[in-house]
Structure 1
Amino acid sequence: MKIAALSDIHGNLAALEAVLKDVQRHGADVIVNLGDIFSGALYPSQTADRLMALGFPTIRGNHERQVLSGDVSRMSASDRWAHISLNAQQMEWMRNLPTTLRIENDVLLVHGTPGDDLTYFLETVEESGCRPATQNEVEERAGDIDAGLILCGHTHLQRSMKLMDGRLIVNPGSVGLQAYSDDHPFPHRMEMGSPHARYACITKTSSGWDVEFHFVEYAWDDAAAIALSNGRPDWANALRSGFC
């Protein structure tokens, strides 16, 4: 079995199309979507139409939860853009997405960690910034989840870790945004360092799960221009460079 894992599309339709084309070239038995689908500065509604038609196994992330909160006055600029752009049918589709999903018995889809869509699985944020999580930290976050493969998103960073008992945790990186800053629980930056769209393919073999990380070119300068026209120079810079 070969799974193509996509996450953190953030309404970047051009990046999504490039990734889907690359997945077709590499082949996959199933494509999964790990949440944070629409919020941003680009094309929430068009991205929703594309994904709703494809019907991939999909979970919602923290941004879906925030968009669905309904309190526009308290939303970030990215969530507000999604909230005003999505129509009633698209909002209902998003509302019906699960927060976690199990496929093929041995594979669990989560956004952050199994119990929290805001906690990073493979990274740890401290007062000094963000660093890769230790083995013990990841083991604790995984707990006793009975799944040989746990797919997570949220951090936009491509990373994997094998646990002591053989379980594999994989973050495929972000399709649509290669850098962002946040202040939860402390101020920090997440930066891939290049503008390429990212995803991962995970294949079941006789010895377990193997992961391949992919990065894909697309028209990121055009996407940055759209973000700038929508009043988001922060997004424009991240889309062009992969840095905040």
Structure 2
Amino acid sequence: MSACTLRLALVSDIHGNLPALEAVAADIHHRGVDQIVNLGDSVSGPLLPRETAQWLMAAGWPSLAGNHERQLLTQAPAQMGASDAFAHAALGAAEFAWLRAQPATLRLSDEVLLCHGTPASDLIYCLETIDAGRLRLADRQTIAERLGAERSALVACGHSHTPRSVRCGGQLIVNPGSVGLPAFDADRPEFHVAETGSADARYALVERRADGQWSAQLIAVPYDTRVVVQLAVAAGRDEWARALSTGYAS
């Protein structure tokens, strides 16, 4: 990468929500970027896993393996959670081959590192701490510890579904939020919820300006959620239907 202006679009946590992905892709197209990258957790969920995988395969974006890709490839179906099991049953040989080719992290240059959670783990939130059952912004020391020895000027991460842009020790760390699932609850490492409060699909634009500094825009894109809400209900996943339609987990 040279010192000229560069614009990247960051997407993450699509979770098989093809209508949301299409809305985000259309919005990115209108804005113009040099490259689009996908930070993982692309297909797991009770929506359109195979169709989403095929769309991404055709698009050819660099894509990471998130924790759900790892689980889809390493766990027996009987051991999987409901979202992974649904995706596993829907995917074919070509889609699994695409998943197996995805790296856990990707260094675009000396300046840019892509990861799903932290550089070392796909299960740890980089920018959040669980507090009283909810996610809040982690303190600077905790973020620095999670980054470890990573010194890239820009670190892009996902996993928490929570859009954030944080500067820490001269680095810009950006979580674009979730394209496909704006709220969730989880039991590990302890019970907690993540909520954005709207049904919008999320992504981020990051730009390295001519002066070498990185900036970020966190973008929310409205789309028609009726199809995916109906799919979630049909799959018996009312919690997904609620999250998809409201951006709240309860």
Shorter-normalised TM-score: what interval? over 0.9
Distance 2:227 2:91 in 1: 22
SS at match of 1:68: helix
Give the counterpart letter for 2:12 in structure 1: S
Residue in structure 2 matched with residue 52 of structure 1 by the alignment? 57
Which residue type is aligned with residue 15 of structure 2? H
Partner of 2:207: 203
**Which SS does the other structure have where 2:117 is aligned?**
coil
Deviation at 1:156, TM superposition (A): 0.3
Instruction: Indicate conservation of the 8 Å contact 1:129/1:186, yes or no.
Output: no
2:111 equivalent to 1:116: no
Q: Tell me which of 184, 188, 192 is aligned to 1:184.
A: 188
Map of 2:246 onto structure 1: 241
Query: What is the rounded CA distance, in whole Å, between the counterparts of 1:141 and 1:14 in structure 2?
Result: 33
Instruction: Identify which of 158, 172, 175 aligns with 2:176.
Output: 172
For 1:49-198, what aligned pairs fall within 5 Å after superposition? 49-126=54-131, 128-164=133-169, 166-198=170-202
Q: Select the residue among 219, 224, 231 that pairs with 2:229.
A: 224
Cα distance change of structure 1 residues 138 and 233 upon mapping to structure 2, 3 Å threshold? same
Output the CA distance in 1 between the equivalents of 2:206 and 2:188. Answer: 30
Q: Kindly indicate whether the alpha-carbon contact (under 8 Å) linking 1:150 and 1:169 is maintained by their aligned counterparts in 2.
A: yes
Q: Which amino acid in structure 2 is aligned with residue 100 of structure 1?
A: T
1:146 is displaced (CA, Å) by 2.7
Return the letter of the residue paired with 1:71: A
Q: SS of the counterpart of 1:125?
A: strand
Tell me which residue corresponds to 1:41: 46
Work out the number of aligned pairs and report it: 243
Please report the TM-score for the alignment, with normalisation by the length of structure 1: 0.97
SS in structure 1 of the partner of residue 126 of structure 2: coil
Cα deviation for residue 130 of structure 1 reads: 2.6
| Residues 155 and 190, structure 1, Cα contact 8 Å, conserved in 2 | yes
What's the CA shift for 1:21? 0.2
1:215 corresponds in structure 2 to 220
Change beyond 3 A, Cα 1:232–1:141: same
Report the RMSD for the aligned CA atoms in angstroms. Answer: 1.0
Gaps of 5+ in 2: 1-5
Tell me how far 1:83 sits from its aligned partner: 0.4
Cα offsets for 1:44-73 (capped at 9, x unmatched)? 000011100111111110000111124111
Tell me the TM-score normalised to structure 2 length. 0.95
AA matched with 2:219: H
The amino acid across from 1:62 in the alignment is N
Which residue identity does 1:231 align to in structure 2?
A: G
Matched, 1:16 2:59: no
Name the aligned partner's letter for residue 49 of structure 2: P
Residues 192-235 of structure 1: CA deviation (Å, up to 9, x unaligned): 01000000000001151000011001111221011111211111
Q: Measure the CA separation in 2 of the matches of 1:54 and 1:207.
A: 29
Q: Could you tell me the percent identity over the aligned residues?
A: 46
